[in-house]
Amino acid sequence: MTVRPPAPSRRTLLRALAALPVSALVLPGLAGTAEAAAPASGYATRYTIVPFLDSDDGTVNVYQSDDATDFRLLQASAYTPPSNRIRDASVLKHTDGYYYITYTTHTWQDESTTIGFARSSDRVNWTFLYDYTIPITDLSRAWEPEWFVDSDAGVNVIVSCSTTDDEWIFTPYVLTATDSALTAWTSPVALSGIGSNHIDTYIVKVGSTYHAFTKNETAKYIEYGTASALKGPYTLSRTGDWAGWGSYREGPSVIQLDNGGWRIFFDGYGDGTYYYSDSYDTFATWSTPTALPTLSGTARHFTVIKETVPGGASVTKNATRSFQSANYTTRYWEEQSSLLNLPVVTGSSATADKQAATFTVVAGLADGNGYSFRDASGNYLRHYDFRARFDANDGTATFAKDATFIARTGATSGSVRFESYNYPGYYLRHYNYQLRVDISPGTDLFRQDSSFAAVTAWA
């Protein structure tokens, strides 16, 4: 059995994971982002990143994840440009069905007046397209291009540029594609209001408001501002360590999770760690930064796209099932004194044990595409102080979220992992034959401990 580090207190996480607003947050125009909802049966959520390596800025790997926490290598050294370097790759799923990356073409010490472009049909095999020279007089460096797809202004690239009079003072500019092949671009226009000495600007749009996350290159903090138009003017309303992320942070990328919350990823280049942090009040407050388990120390500076794709895990709803451990196959979920445990259940087990190991699968209380589980008395499986237990539904939004789980593909064929709806990245798993929700450390053993097969009910 795995040794589990102490979990953070429920009170601490509840402060960070504030209640989801009644109105669902959507992100119109941002490629790869779906409305906030768990994937429907027959579909799966997929997050993709294309980072360059801490050890090598001449190539990029491709990773994917179904929960935005546990990223798995899809392809090592997936793309190496024919010349120069590849840093800060931003990935886009375009309307033509291809994936595109744009990237910094030179290492940080060198003059860099171009950004690169490549595309792929499958995220594994990439083809170089071209290097594009940014048409800015006396340009010194063009760094960290970021895709932004706008319902009002089409496909854009936000790029940080400096000129020869001060090569280390960067200003964010926007380029807008003038053709669907993404080969022709408007003249660069500086984003008004953000100002010089800002780099790594990432923009998301919620409703009619543009939200900019940008690194202050002097203070080394990620700052935040808003505008009513893509080109601004932006008002930077949050500066310094406003979100509790600390200094020496760069390369922010923001994506919406299946439960409607927002997740920011950023490169903690000062300490070699990659982080994420979540917000449930439209970017006002954020959870304590958490290290990404499989990427820290390996991946550098990436953006994230989210897609809903065919496949994924599912369990038949409105049916009774028993749940068998994927790595301890004689053990099953069983309710014991209102708690969910994992004892051995066999054909010779007592009738009461078989009944206690049988559950009704229903639509999730907080999201109908998710799952909730009832016992024979009508109580629901929920997490409380991270322990899995059965309680009567009290009708509150908190209970509904505690009792809702999102199905993710399990570690073995036919198995399912159940991710907590309101604690993304936390899964139902067994530890000392007790069921609880724990955060994924990205290990194969944890994936096995959190995988279960829905089988014919014992009773």
For residue 4, the model assigns a pLDDT of 34
Contact 415, 452 (CB under 8 A): yes
Amino acid code (one letter) for 221: Y
Residues 72, 184: one domain? yes
Least confident of 150-164, 315-329, 415-429: 150-164
Where do runs of H (alpha helix) occur along 357-453? 397-402, 444-449
pLDDT of residue 152: 80
pTM, full prediction: 0.91
Domain containing residue 438: CATH number: 2.80.10.50
Distances (CA, A) of 134 to 128, 198, 372: 18, 18, 52
Among 265, 284, 310, the domain boundary falls at: 310
CA distance 427 to 451: 9
Q: Are residues 297 and 405 in the same domain?
A: no
269: in domain: yes
Are 302 and 361 found together in one domain?
Answer: no
Residue 283 sits in the same domain as residue 323 = no
Mean pLDDT value across residues 406-421? 97
Residues 344 and 360: their CA atoms lie apart, in Å, by 20
> With pLDDT > 70 as the criterion, what percentage of the chain qualifies?
92
Look up tokens 């409380």; give the residue.
Answer: 384
359 domain-assigned:
yes
Longest dimension (CA), the chain: 82
Q: Let me know whether 164 and 65 are in one domain.
A: yes
Answer yes or no: is 17 within a domain: no
Helix (H, G, I), strand (E, B) or coil at 399: helix
Query: Percent of the chain scored above 90 by pLDDT?
Result: 90
Q: What is the pLDDT of residues 331-383, one digit of tens each?
A: 999 999 999 999 999 999 999 999 999 999 999 999 999 999 999 999 999 99
Q: Which of 244, 278, 310 is the last residue of a domain?
A: 310
User: 11-25 burial, b for 16+ CB within 10 Å, e for fewer?
Assistant: eebeebbeebeeeeb
The residue behind tokens 């159940």 is: 418
pLDDT in the model for residue 102: 98
387-413 mean pLDDT? 98
In a shared domain, residues 65 and 104: yes
| Residue 72 sits in the same domain as residue 207 | yes
The CATH number for 264's domain is 2.120.10.10
Q: Among residues 310, 334, 363, which one ends one of the domains? A: 310
Helices and strands: H and E segment counts in the chain: 4, 34
Which structural domain, as residue segments, surrounds residue 148? 23-310
What separation in angstroms does the CA of 344 have from each of 210, 328, 348, 390? 54, 9, 11, 20
In a domain, 88, yes or no: yes
Q: Is residue 12 assigned to a domain?
A: no
Instruction: Look over the chain and give the mean of its residue pLDDT values, rounded to a whole number.
Output: 92
Return the residue matching tokens 């190539």: 59
Same domain, residue pair 93 and 155: yes
**Chain centroid to CA 106:** 28
Report yes or no on 1 lying in a domain: no
What confidence tens digit (pLDDT) does each residue in 415-431 have? Answer: 999 999 999 999 999 99
Question: Is omega for the bond preceding 233 within 30 degrees of 0, making it cis?
Answer: yes
Same-domain status, 228 and 326: no
Residue 430 lies in a domain: yes
Rg for the chain, CA atoms, rounded: 23
If asked whether residues 187 and 327 sit together in one domain, one would say no
Same-domain check for residues 152 and 268: yes
CB 93 within 8 A of CB 31: yes
243: left (phi over 0), alpha (psi -120 to 50) or beta: alpha
Residue 202 lies in a domain: yes
Number of domains in the chain: 2
Q: Does residue 18 carry a pLDDT above 50?
A: no
3-class state of residue 401 by DSSP: helix
**DSSP conformation class of 350:** -
Q: Which of 268, 272, 227 is nearest to 251 (CA)?
A: 268
